[in-house]
Chain A
Amino acid sequence: MTWLLRLLSPLDRKLARDLWAMKGQALAIACVIAGGVSVFLISAGMLDSLTETRRAYYERYRFADIWAPVVRAPDALAADIRRIEGVQAAETRIRAPLLFDIPGMSEPASGEAISLPDGREPLVNQLYLMEGRLPRPGQRGEAVVIDSFAAAHGLEIGDTLSATIRGGRSELTVVGRALSPEHVYTIAPGQIVPDPRLYGVIWMSRDALGEAVDQDGAFNEAIVRLMPGQDAAPVIDRLDRLLDPYGAPGAYGRDDQISDAFVSSEIEQLSTMGRILPPIFLAVAAFLVNVVLSRLVATERAEIGLMKAFGYRDRDVMAHYLKFAGLIGVLGLAIGGGAGVWLGRLMAGLYTDYYHFPFLVFTANPRVYLLALAITVAAVGGGAILAARRAAALHPAVAMQPPPPPDYSRTAGMGLTRLTLLDQPSRMILRRLVQWPGRAGFTLAGVAMSGALLVGTLYFTDAMEAMVSSYFDQSNRQDVTVSFVEPRQRSAFHEVARLPGVLAAEPFRSVAVRLYHGPAEERAAMMGVTRGAALSRMIGADGRGVETPPGGLVLSGDLAATLGVEAGDRIRVEITEGRRPVLELPVAAVVTTLIGSGVQMELGDLNALLGEGEVVSGAHLVADGDAVDRLYTALKSAPGVAGVSLQSVAERNFRALMDESMGVAIWLYTGFAGLIAIGVIYNSVRISLSESAHEFATLRVLGFTRAEVSYILLGEIGILTLIALPAGGLLGTGLAWYFAEAMSSDLFRLPFIIHPATYGFAAAVILVTTALSGLIVRARLDHLDLVAVLKARE
């Protein structure tokens, strides 16, 4: 170490030793910088990685821009679709729901089968084949299985798989394992969390699937890729007109494609986090650098005077202190860079559990690293420049004189601190606060900000918990939802209700609709529910199911907002299936739904409007826990059942998702908030000690005990912390409100709910941090050199 020092110039050696002497404080500041840098790297890098991976994947595997489902349209239309202006490529295909029968698994797994063109790669939505091959034309029993489902069931090439498609049972041989750009987030319709065990996708040859679903020479979905730069809306219009005679509910773009909507929502959230958090960290770091450096300059007055007396120029002195800050910045960058990349990789790993890309490597592009460097330099430099300039501006003759004692007579003599019932140590604490209001204010702001960050990030757990409880405990209390292949007579519902193990059942009718109000237009799913539905229903603000008045609609809040309607307005409803009636209906109520959106109507009213008789699309069931296996078995072989979803499993999955990925992210951010608290509090206490070491030692000489002196040292930060707690709670409430607004999407809305326990936990973290910082610094108090005080002049 010493030989290394000898290589340095004397000034740099001084720098190295100063830095070593202040290593605790330097490290605390570096950690705050590191917090900002790593949050920035994680969010910006993850944002980059996800965006770039998605772009490359979509581009390379020709992800569709538009999906246009129909009931049944002749293959010949494909040529017309390809001729639409702006269409680069189009493919027609068959898509059908199915039920799997997995040996040894009692729950019914559902999924969908998608056709592949015979004998060639599709032009749109190509598969990323991980293993095996595509089905051979003419080979009816072959299927490619989506990787997640294959992995969940240990399916390998050559294994057989039983699937019921449209009531017909197929024995399929697995010939390949693949990913698809359409199924990055592989999720069952109506679900919120993927379950690779219970939901799978298979691809079959067009012939084979066409035969299974009776669509020979026909297709039920067209997918379209647009020319670069082409707007989707006019093409969607043309498609709708072209396909209207074939029972088209309406084409939709990537916005409404469920997998991409989830990926986009994730990207949006990352970008929000990346916008908010790093600036907070770096502002705190800049403040800390300024405070610590100012303190250093104050203690080194004499040295600065000497340096200048010896002929060092102003800029040498300034450079010296800027270097000091620069080294701390470099340390922070190094820690933050390393931690950011490491955590980013960890996070990328978590993402790949839920988002299935062929590859997802955490790679921030050089711009991100440069930006991290630039904002660190700006923060540290901004913090250091004032102190460094102050050092450079000192006149040598003045600098070598000891500084005059701080004059408390003007500021601290007033008001509160004059109260006679105060003891002197308390008076000292108060006067120090009043004497340096700027410093006290900054400390207060720093602690409050870390408290706010804690509340803001912990809020997510509260919001998620509220979402889960609202969605599963109130809105969707069924255990099982059965959906039929097509609407069936009410008697089909009674058959399901009579299945073994069913304790209660409720029918529903679901139709695709388009809602219009003025110029606004939205696609939505309309649910017909029975009066007094107790299982699956919309929940009002009072937590009770909303009764749908006869003939009226209940709209989810987000839909109402996009359409610009309130309760009492009338909207135009175009039902995009069956006879396709267009209706003017009154909005009876608008309710806030946390997950998903939609519109609800009374089942009888809906059926009356549709004119298809007493039909239902499926049923919600409450199952007897002891007989659930028998129910599952019965459902697997029930005719006309297209899909079965299990709410209890979904809830478990949702909680697992919260614990795993969101849990990690939330605790990570909580840790970072704690880091800020440590940085601010430790530095404040440490600086108080070094500024007043002389006074504290004098007090010890005068016979004050360690506890009494600690009271003065820690009382100041204690008071500031106590004031900062409510301020931080208030700021955190604001931050949580902003997160709730900024992070809500079409997929879900974060409720603005903060539990008292969240405030309590945040306060506890701050108090423990304060106590720990206090203890660490107090240990130094115990080793004050009392003898030196008698001789030293400050």
Chain B
Amino acid sequence: MTPAERQTSTAPCFRTRGLTKVYGSGENAVHALRGVDLDLPEGELVVLLGPSGSGKSTLLNILGGLDAASDGEVWFRDHELSAANPAALTLYRRRHVGFVFQFYNLMPSLTARENVQLVTEIADNPMKAEEALGMVGLENRLDHFPAQLSGGEQQRVAIARAIAKRPSVLLCDEPTGALDSATGIRVLQALKQVNETLGATTLVITHNAGVAAMAHRVITFSDGRIGEVRTNEHRVDPSELSW
């Protein structure tokens, strides 16, 4: 099933209307989002581009249930996230969302396998930790602690941790930001593979415009608004990217 077919058969994965986020108040108010209307179909790999402070991370946080909008609506499938309480948002993250962070955020006291098990233990229908680590090419590093892994390996453990619960959405904030180009490409390949095999709607924030070529859809942010949305007719494999 291609993304285009999914889009026609089901409601969008995310839908926002008039999404606004203001930090602070009065003279000090910072408008991070200024009325964002967005529909993201199920199963797509979406790249969010834009300069620092353009609002892309704020959007990702709100979609991930980490932050609440100041105004407007956010829907995940038929759940209105903008009306959910903190407990419901915790449950939403637990069931549906996989996060990948710029700095991996692994538990230093747990091995690669145990870091993944941390999540599979509280998920409803997880895959085996070994399987998730296998998908990112780490089947030989199962019992290594984070301190014994390279940056790229740590990030791939983080991806394995995010996908092991078979998430509906995978949210990645600068996943390659701390990595060199060769390692970054391995990580992007892992993300692409996961998106294709699990069908998880994947949002990737990046500063690196070159990464956009691997996406189904590219959204450019500027000054709290969506500047441009384009779909790639021809997606480039990460191995062909360079920066």
Contacts and interface: CB of A to CB of B under 8 A. Distances in A.
Interface of A: 404-409, 412-413, 423-425, 427-428, 431-432, 435, 694-695, 698-706, 708, 786-787, 789-794
Interface in B207-236: none
Contacts of A698: 101, 105, 107
Given A427-B114, A703-B93, A790 B61 contact: yes
A698 B93 CA distance: 12
Closest 6 CB pairs of A and B: A703-B94, A407-B147, A703-B93, A431-B109, A424-B118, A698-B105
A424 B114 contact: yes
11 contacts: A413-B111, A431-B110, A694-B105, A698-B105, A701-B105, A702-B99, A703-B93, A705-B87, A705-B90, A787-B61, A791-B57
Given A405-B146, A703-B97, A791-B102, A412 B122 contact: no
B93 A701 contact: yes
Contact of A428 (B64, B66, B102, B109): B109
A413 B111 CA distance: 8
A162 B13 CA distance: 104
B94 to A, nearest CB: 3
A405 B61 CA distance: 26
B109 A427 contact: yes
B103 A704 contact: no
B145 interface: yes
B37 interface: no
B148 A702 contact: no
Given A428-B110, A432-B109, 16 more contacts: A423-B121, A424-B107, A427-B114, A428-B107, A695-B105, A699-B118, A701-B105, A708-B122, A786-B66, A787-B67, A790-B61, A790-B66, A790-B173, A791-B173, A793-B103, A794-B103
Between A695, A706, A790, A794, the greatest number of chain B beta carbons within 10 A of the residue's beta carbon is seen for: A790
Contacts of A695: 105, 107-108
A790 to B, nearest CB: 5
B103 A792 contact: yes
Contacts of B93: 701-703
Contacts of A790: 57, 61, 66, 99, 101-102, 173
Given A408-B145, A790-B102, A424 B121 contact: yes
Interface of B: 57, 61, 64, 66-67, 87, 90-95, 97, 99, 101-103, 105, 107-111, 114-115, 117-119, 121-122, 143-148, 161, 173
Between B64, B95, B115, the greatest number of chain A beta carbons within 10 A of the residue's beta carbon is seen for: B64
A404 B118 CA distance: 22
Contacts of A404: 147
B222 to A, nearest CB: 20
B99 A701 contact: yes
A406 B147 contact: yes
A786 B87 CA distance: 14
B103 A409 contact: no
Nearest to B147: A407
Between B61, B91, B99, B108, the greatest number of chain A beta carbons within 10 A of the residue's beta carbon is seen for: B108
Contacts of B161: 702
A406 B108 contact: yes
B106 to A, nearest CB: 8
A708 B118 CA distance: 12
B99 A424 contact: no
Contact of B108 (A408, A789, A792, A793): A408
B110 A424 contact: yes
B237 to A, nearest CB: 27
Nearest to A786: B66
Given A702-B99, A703-B91, A790-B61, A407 B110 contact: no
Given A408-B147, A423-B121, A701-B93, A789 B109 contact: no
A138 B123 CA distance: 104
A790 B119 CA distance: 17
A545 B110 CA distance: 67
Contacts of A424: 107, 110, 114-115, 117-118, 121
A701 B64 CA distance: 9
A407 B147 CA distance: 5
Nearest to B109: A431
Given A408-B147, A409-B147, A424-B121, A703 B102 contact: no
Between B103, B148, B161, the greatest number of chain A beta carbons within 10 A of the residue's beta carbon is seen for: B103
B148 A409 contact: yes
Contact of B66 (A409, A427, A431, A787): A787
Between A407, A409, A792, the greatest number of chain B beta carbons within 10 A of the residue's beta carbon is seen for: A409
Nearest to B143: A413
Between A694, A702, A787, the greatest number of chain B beta carbons within 10 A of the residue's beta carbon is seen for: A702
Nearest to A409: B145
Contacts of A432: 109
A586 to B, nearest CB: 72
A515 B118 CA distance: 78
B241 to A, nearest CB: 23
Contacts of B148: 407, 409
Nearest to B61: A787
Contacts of B64: 701
A703 B90 contact: yes
A694 B143 CA distance: 23
A407 B122 contact: no
Contacts of B101: 698, 789-790
A699 B101 CA distance: 12
A689 to B, nearest CB: 15
Contacts of B146: 405
Contacts of A409: 144-145, 147-148
Nearest to A705: B90
B132 to A, nearest CB: 14
Contacts of A793: 103
B176 to A, nearest CB: 15
A703 B122 contact: yes
A672 B114 CA distance: 43
Contacts of B117: 424
B116 to A, nearest CB: 9
